[in-house]
A and B are shown apart, each in its own frame.
Chain A
Amino acid sequence: MADNLPSEFDVVVIGTGLPESIIAAACSRSGQRVLHVDSRNYYGGNWASFSFSGLSSWIKENQQKTDISEESEDWRKLILETEEAICLNKKDKTIQNVEDVCYASQDLAEDVKEAGALPNLPDFEASETSEAAQESEKECLPVESQSLGTASCEISSERIIGNDPGSTTERKDAEMTSERENLCDVTSDQSPLETGKTETISTTEAAALEPKKITYTQIVKEGRRFNIDLVSKLLYSRGLLIDLLMKSNVSRYAEFKNVTRILTFQEERVEQVPCSRADVFNSKQLTMVEKRMLMKFLTFCLDYEQHPDAYQDYKEYKFSEYLKTQKLTAKLQHFILHSIAMVSAADSNTIEGLKATKNFLQCLGRYGNTPFLFPLYGQGEIPQCFCRMCAVFGGIYCLRHSVQCLVVDKESGRCKAIIDHFGQRINANYFVVEDSYLSEETCTDVCYRQISRAVLITDQSVLKTDSDQQISILIVPPMELGQPAVRIIELCSSTMTCMKNTYLVHFTSSSTKTAKEDLEPVVQKLFTLNAETERESKNGGLEKPRVLWAVYFNMRDSSGIDRNSYDHLPSNVYVCSGPDSALGNDYAVKQAETLFQEMFPNEEFCPSPPNPEDIIYDGDGTPPEDPRFSNSSNMKTEPLSEESSDENSYKISEEHHKE
C-alpha cells in the first residue's frame, strides 16, 4: 500500500497524539494536503486507550529491552549532496518502570483469550490463521483503533487513483462513503456489545446480594470491555478542548459523561465534596454555618478580580495560608485547597489558587453538577476524533509507518522531505513531529520530567452510594512535605472503560521516584491488595475495595520544553509534546493552536464547518453527501424521546443546564 502513497504533501505530521491530531485536523480543514503517520499500530501514542489484551501487549513491549536491529541504510542513497539527514528515533523510550501485578485469583488455563481479541501488536498476528478467526477480527476491527484503522489507508489508495486535481468532487465522494462505512462499522460493532450487556445484567442481580468475586480469567475474557487510558485526564467543561470540539464540530464524533462526584480524602476517610449550589444545599456533612461560609467564599472567587481589597494583602502568601485568614473551618479549607482549586499546598500562591477556584466554578453547571466531562470509551477517543476530521477533509493516514529521517537542505537549512521505512521520499513544506520521535542526539540538552501512573482494576467504588455508576475524582494531598499530590480518577462501567462490576482507577502524580514507589502507599491507603483474604473487617469500619489487577509505569512528560533546547532542528519542523501531568487538556490545545498559527499565520484555526447549503460545488456534479458537518443546533435532548438509552451521556453542543 505504501507504494501508492503520493510523494508531495503540504504538511507531514508524525505521531497521532492529541496536539498532532489537532494540528493535522486544522491543516486539513484549511485545505492543506496532510499526511499523518504513526509508527505504532494504534492511534494516539501515549494518549491511547487499550483493551485489556491490548494493554497487556503494550506492557510486554515496554518491558522488553529489544535491541534495535540495524536496518539497511539504503535510504541514505535518497539524500542528495546538498542535503543532510536528521535521524528519528527507532524505539519509543518514553515509558519506564512498567510493572503489572495481578491480585485476582488466577485459576485460568494458559490459553484463555479475550473474546474476539484483536492482535494489537504485529508479533501476535502470525499465530492465528484460521479463517474464522480472521473473519471475526475483521468484524471487530474498529473497536481497537476505533474506526480509523486500516480503513483510512484504503481511502488513501482510492484517492490516489483519482488524483486528478479537477475531480475533487469525485474524490470527496469516495472519501465520504468510506467514512460512512467506518461509521457503520462502529454501530454494527455495538450490537454484540449490547447483547453482552443484557447477559451480564442477570449476573449483576445475583451479585447484588454478595459482592461477586471477579477472577483474572473473567477480566481476560471480558478484556474488550476495557478501554484503559495511558494518560488520565478530564475535560473542563469550559476548557479549551471543549471549546475547540464545539467550534470545529469534532464533538459529533464523541460522547461524554459528566463526572458525578468530587471526593476528598480527609482523616483517613473518603467523603464527597459539595461544590455546586445544589450539592451544598443537599450536603449532610456541613453545618448550616459551614454551608454559608463555603458558599460565600465560592461566590467571592467567581469574581475575585472585582474585590482586590479582599486578597491584595495576601498576594505573596501561599493559597493555603490565605485560606486560613478567611472565615473557613479546617474542613472547608481542605475542600477548597485540594478538591476545588486542586492546587499544591506547598507551591501555589493566593492568586493561582483563586484563579484555579474560579476556573473550577465557572465550569460547574454547564453540563452537570461537576465541572468535568469524561469521553466514553476513554481519552484515546479524542485524538482519533480529530484524525477523523482530518480524514474527512482529505488527510491521509498511515499507521505502522515509521519515518527514518528528516531531510534537510543544507543551504536553506529547511526540512524538505521525510524518508519512510519503505525508503520512499515524501516532500512537504511543514513537518510536525511528536517529541518521542526525536532521537537522543537531537534531545541531548532536553531535560524531561516524569509522570507516575498507576491503573487499577477494582471490585468496588472507594465511596459506595446507592448508585454504582459514579465517575469520581479524588485528590490525595501529599503525605509528606515535598511529595506531590496524587490525583485519582475512578471510572465505572458505564463509561465504557471497564467490565461490569469493576472499576477502573487511574492514579497520576508527577514523579519523584518510580511510579510504584510514588503511588503504592496511596493505593494501600484506599484499597486492599490481597484479594484472597476474606473480608474480616465486618465489625470495624468501612471495607476497602479490593484491587484485582494493577499496572504501574512512568511516562515522560515532555511538556513545557523550550524549542531551542532541541539541537539543530530546521525552522519548519514543529515539535509537539507528549501528555503533560495536568488534569485538563489545555496545554495540548494551546500548543496545537500556537504551532498552527506559526505555520499558517493567516488561517483560522479549526473554524466551524460550513453549512452544507452554503457549499458551492464545482461543475454540475451532484453535491456529495452531507459531510456530517451540518449545523447541529437542534441537538438538544428532546423531551420524551422514546429510547432513553442513557440519560447521562450526551453529545456536547448545547448547554445542557440552565443555571
Chain B
Amino acid sequence: MHGRLKVKTTEEQAKAKRLEREKKLRQYIAVTTAIFEKRKAGQLDKEALELTNQILGANPDFATLWNFRREIFLHLEKEGSPEEMQALCQGELSFLETCLRVNPKSYGTWHHRCWVMGHVPHPDWARELELCAKFLESDDRNFHCWDYRRFVVLRAQVQAEDELRFTDGLITRNFSNYSSWHYRSRLLPHLHPDPRQPGRPTEAVLLTELQLVQNAFFTDPNDQSAWFYHRWLLGRANPEPTFLCIYVSRDDASLVVAFSQPVGVMPGSDDLILFVDEAPVVVVWHTPDGRNRPGHVWLCDLPASALNDQWPQHSFRVHWAGGETQKECVLFQGCRDCWCRDSVIEEQVFRCELSVEKSTLLQSELESCKELQALEPENKWCLLTIILLMWALDPLVYERETLHYFDTLKAVDPMRSAYLDDLRSRFLVENGILRMEYAEARVVDLSGRGLTILCHLEQLLLITHLNLAGNRLRRLPPTLAALRCLQVLELDGNQIETMEGLPPLPHLEELSLCSNRVQRPADLRPLASFPRLRLLALQDNPVGSLPTAQSELAALLPQVEVTLA
C-alpha cells in the first residue's frame, strides 16, 4: 500500500543493534586501555579527565576511574588558581549529576560527589540540598542519597527545625519511609530534649508523634516502618549500668557482683574496684564461665585477710566507673555469707521494649491498638505491640491475657514461632522473678511454663532452689553459672541433651534430669567439676538403656549418687 512507512524487519533491526553494540564495546575497551596507560605514565592532565569522562558517563560504577580522577584533581589543584579549580569542580558536579541519572544508586558517584564538595573552593550547599530533594522525590528510599544528604546537612549546618519539616514533607507524601521516621527519632530528642531522660524527647512531643504514627498504622497496619517508629516512641533511654546485687561467700572465699546490664571489665583497669574495710584491694575479676566476655556477673577470689573470722565484721564495697555507682555489704563474724540486693520495682528490674514513664500514655496506646486489633484481628504488628504494651503496663495483671495474645500471634505468624517462644519465655521468667520478689523467697518455681530459653539469670544470684521442670529447654546457658547459691535444680521433663559448656555451680547439691534426652555419660562431663554435687537423677533418659552407663557414670562422677532407673 502506498503512503506507508517502510520499516526495517526485526532481523535487520537485530543485526543493526548487534553491530552497534560491538562498535560500542570496541570503543569502550580502547578508551579504557588508553586511560590505564595514561595512569601508568602518570599523565594527570585534562585529556585523562576527558577520557574517564567518556567511560564513567556510560558506566559510573567503575570505581578505579573515580580514583584516577581524584588523583588528577589533586594534581591540578596544586597547579591551578582557585578560580580554575572552582570551574573544574563545577564542571565535575554537573558531570556527576548526569552520572547519577544513569545510576542513582552508584556508590562511586555519590562518594566522588562528597569528595568534590570537600575540595571545591566555594561550595554551594543549598544547591546540593535541592539535588538531594529531587533524587529523594523520585525514590524516597534511596539510602545513598540519604547518606549524602546527611553529609550536606552537616556541612551546611542546616537547622534541626528545617530538617524536621523536611521529614514532615516526605512522610506526608508517603509514610512508608524508614529513613524519614528514623531521622525524626534523631531530630526530636535534639530539638525537644527531656531534661529527666537524656536522649528522649519531651512528653508533649511524644503525644503528637504517637498521633501521627497511629494515623500511619491505622491507614496501613501492614507497613512496618510506622510500627518500628512506634516502638521507639514508647521506649526509653538506655540507663547506665548499676549494681543489682553484691554477694560475699566465706566458704567460697569469693565476692560476686551482678550488674543491671552486661559490662566488660578489662584486666588491670580500674573500672570495677573493691574496697575491703574501706581499703582498696587488688583482685582479679572474672566471669563465672572464665571467658571474661562482657556479662552481667563478675566475681573475684577474696584474700584470706578479708575473711578473717576473728574480726567482728568486714565491710565490702564495690565501685563502678569512678564511684558513680556503688554497693556495700557487711560480713559479720560467724556468718557464712552476706549480700546486699536492691528491692525490686518491676519497671526498674527489666528494661522492656516499651516503657515510657507515664502509664496513662501506654494505657491509651493499648486502647487504640486493641481497637485496631478488632478491625484487623490477624495483624501481627498490632498483636505484638499489644503484648509489649501490656507487658510494660503490668506484666502480672495482664499475664493471662498476654499469653492468650502470644498464642494468637503464633497462629498468625508461624514463621516466627521460635522467636515468639523465646519472647514468651522471657516474659514468663520475668513474671516468675517478680513473684519471687514479692514473696521475698530464695526459691523460684518456673515449672510447666513452656520455656524455650532462660534469661535474667543475673537476677537469681541468691536463689537456692530452682524448679524448671516441664519446660521445653534444650540446653542450659553458660549464664546459669550466675546462680552462685543454687543448691537444688529441677529439670525434669525437658529436652536437654548435654551439659556441655556449663561452668561449675559452686553450691549445687541435687540435680534432677529425669525425662530428658541425655544420650551418653560423656554428655554429663561438666558435672564432674561441680564441687558439691551429691545427687543426680537420670531416670527416663536414653542413657539409661546403655549397659555400661552405670559404671561409666560412676567413673565420671565418683562423688555423685546417680539414679538411672
Contacts and interface: CB of A to CB of B under 8 A. Distances in A.
B348 interface: no
A388 interface: no
A291 interface: yes
B96 to A, nearest CB: 12
B175 interface: yes
Contacts of B16: 613
A165 interface: yes
Given A288-B371, A327-B375, A615-B7, A640 B218 contact: no
A595 interface: no
A281 B216 contact: yes
B220 A277 contact: yes
A658 interface: yes
B5 A640 contact: no
A565 B487 CA distance: 102
B281 interface: no
Interface string A264-284: 000000000000011011100
Contacts of A278: 172-175
A394 B3 contact: yes
B131 interface: yes
Contacts of B13: 614
A614 B137 CA distance: 36
A614 B220 CA distance: 48
Interface in A224-279: 277-278
Interface stretch (A101-109, A292-300, A479-487, A582-590): A292-300
Given A278-B175, A281-B216, A288 B7 contact: no
Contacts of B5: 610, 615
B325 interface: no
A31 B220 contact: no
Given A614-B13, A639-B131, A658-B139, A288 B214 contact: yes
Contact of B4 (A31, A165, A293): A31
Interface string A292-335: 11011000000000000000000000000000000100000000
B215 A288 contact: yes
A208 interface: no
B196 to A, nearest CB: 30
A506 interface: no
Contact of A296 (B97, B215, B216, B375): B375
Interface string A601-621: 000000000100111101000
A206 interface: no
A638 interface: yes
| Most B CB within 10 A of own CB, among A282, A289, A327, A639 | A639
Contact of B220 (A165, A295, A637): A295
A33 B4 CA distance: 10
A167 to B, nearest CB: 12
Interface in A149-187: 165, 168
A30 interface: yes
Contact of A292 (B2, B131, B219): B219
Interface in A562-613: 610, 613
A327 B215 CA distance: 19
Nearest to B139: A658
Contacts of A615: 5-7
Contacts of B4: 30-31
A610 B215 contact: no
B130 interface: yes
Interface string A29-52: 011110000000000000000000
Contacts of A168: 2-3
A287 to B, nearest CB: 9
A329 to B, nearest CB: 12
Interface in B219-237: 219-221
Given A281-B215, A291-B219, A165 B2 contact: yes
B3 A277 contact: no
Contacts of B205: none
B380 to A, nearest CB: 16
Given A282-B172, A289-B371, A638 B219 contact: no
B132 to A, nearest CB: 10
Nearest to A609: B5
B138 interface: yes
Interface in B1-45: 1-8, 13, 16
A394 B1 CA distance: 14
B130 A288 contact: no
Contact of A639 (B7, B8, B101): B101
Contacts of B221: 292
A615 B98 CA distance: 30
Given A296-B375, A639-B97, A291 B7 contact: no
Nearest to B379: A292
Contacts of B139: 658
Contact of A288 (B1, B8, B172, B218): B218
B368 interface: yes
A639 B97 CA distance: 9
Contact of B8 (A282, A296, A614): A614
Given A291-B219, A292-B372, A327-B375, A640 B175 contact: no
A640 B216 contact: no
Nearest to B212: A281
Nearest to B216: A281
Nearest to A166: B2
Interface in B357-382: 368, 371-372, 375-376
Contacts of A637: 138
B135 interface: yes
A616 B7 CA distance: 6
B219 A280 contact: yes
Contacts of A610: 5, 7
A32 B138 CA distance: 42
Contacts of A165: 2
B3 A31 contact: yes
B178 to A, nearest CB: 16
Nearest to A281: B219
B97 A33 contact: no
Contacts of B371: 288-289
Contacts of A394: 3
B122 interface: no
A289 B375 contact: yes
A278 B171 CA distance: 9
B169 to A, nearest CB: 11
Contact of A640 (B134, B173, B174, B220): B134
A551 B101 CA distance: 50
A575 to B, nearest CB: 26
A615 B6 CA distance: 6
A637 B101 CA distance: 11
27 contacts: A31-B1, A31-B2, A277-B174, A277-B219, A278-B173, A278-B174, A280-B219, A281-B215, A281-B219, A288-B214, A288-B371, A289-B371, A291-B218, A291-B219, A292-B218, A292-B372, A292-B375, A292-B376, A293-B375, A295-B219, A296-B375, A610-B5, A616-B7, A639-B101, A639-B137, A640-B134, A658-B138
Given A281-B175, A296-B376, A658-B138, 20 more contacts: A31-B3, A31-B4, A32-B3, A277-B174, A278-B172, A281-B215, A281-B220, A288-B218, A288-B371, A289-B372, A292-B376, A293-B375, A610-B7, A614-B13, A615-B5, A616-B6, A616-B8, A618-B6, A639-B138, A640-B131
Interface of B: 1-8, 13, 16, 97, 100-101, 130-131, 134-135, 137-139, 172-175, 214-216, 218-221, 368, 371-372, 375-376
Across the A-B interface, give the 10 residue pairs with the lowest CB-CB distance, nearest first: A31-B4, A639-B134, A288-B218, A616-B6, A291-B218, A614-B8, A281-B219, A610-B7, A31-B3, A31-B1
